């Protein structure tokens, strides 16, 4: 069967005009302004009360995606708390070699730069990926006060690649996207409290 030349031309033009599936790059979520929102640090509460605050800071490992989705349905924000510099007690602790574990159950930040770059940085990036995959709006990163500059840069770069705004709990850095209100954990990476802050 012969196809009219005009039909071939039209189909060819449509094929050219069809954009690839990856043509659209969604913008990153906007940073959350703590001065305008009521925050609650709920690191020990797996089922926060959506009516208690606008923004909930929840444990990134123990909070499930369904909790995050429920907060979003109620027009609330969910921030993923990660004690990023902690090894002991974390579900991925087995990934850290003993040589990179400090006596305080944290990361040996004085370890050789190559070990931090090749072993530690990818693990920290995977932790951020957990937050992204659960649908969190942003992440609050803790226990990075003593982290070398190179590690911090890699963490921030990984967060940007994941389009995950981050704030630093125990360290000040202008490159962080998120400004965090005072934290009840005090940079220790542990919490047994649920507290609120904001207007």
Q: What is the per-residue pLDDT across 130-170, written as a single tens digit (0 to 9) for each?
A: 999 999 999 999 999 999 999 999 999 999 999 999 999 99
Domain ranges of the chain: 5-197
Residue with tokens 């007690």: 89
The strands making up 138-141's β-sheet, listed across from edge to edge, are 166-168, 138-141, 77-82, 55-59, 39-42, 194-197
The answer to whether residue 191 scores a pLDDT higher than 50 is no
- Which stretches of the chain are DSSP H helices? 5-17, 65-73, 113-115, 121-134, 149-161
Q: What is the per-residue pLDDT across 53-68, written as a single tens digit (0 to 9) for each?
A: 899 999 999 999 999 9
Q: What is the per-residue pLDDT across 63-97, written as a single tens digit (0 to 9) for each?
A: 999 999 999 999 999 999 999 999 999 999 999 99
Lowest-pLDDT range of 23-27, 117-121, 130-134 = 23-27
Lowest-pLDDT range of 10-24, 42-56, 106-120, 129-143 = 10-24
């Amino acid at each position: 069967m012969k196809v009219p030349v005009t039909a071939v031309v039209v189909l060819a033009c449509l094929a050219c005009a069809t954009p690839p599936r990856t043509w659209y790059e969604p913008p990153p979520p906007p940073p959350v302004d703590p001065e305008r929102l009521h925050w609650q640090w709920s690191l020990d509460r797996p089922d926060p009360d959506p009516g208690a605050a606008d923004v909930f800071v929840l444990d990134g490992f123990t909070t499930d995606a369904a909790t995050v989705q429920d907060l979003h349905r109620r027009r609330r924000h969910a921030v993923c708390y990660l004690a990023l510099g902690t090894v002991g007690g974390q579900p991925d602790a087995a990934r850290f070699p003993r040589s990179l574990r400090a006596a305080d159950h944290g990361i040996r930040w004085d370890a050789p730069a190559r070990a931090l770059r090749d072993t530690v940085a990818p693990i920290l990036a995977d932790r951020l990926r957990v937050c992204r995959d659960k649908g969190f709006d942003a992440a609050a990163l803790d226990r990075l006060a003593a982290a070398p500059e190179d590690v911090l840069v890699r963490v921030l770069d990984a967060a940007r690649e994941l389009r995950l705004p981050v704030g630093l709990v125990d360290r000040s850095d202008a490159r962080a996207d998120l400004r965090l209100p005072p934290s009840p954990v005090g940079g220790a990476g542990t919490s047994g409290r649920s507290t609120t802050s904001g207007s």
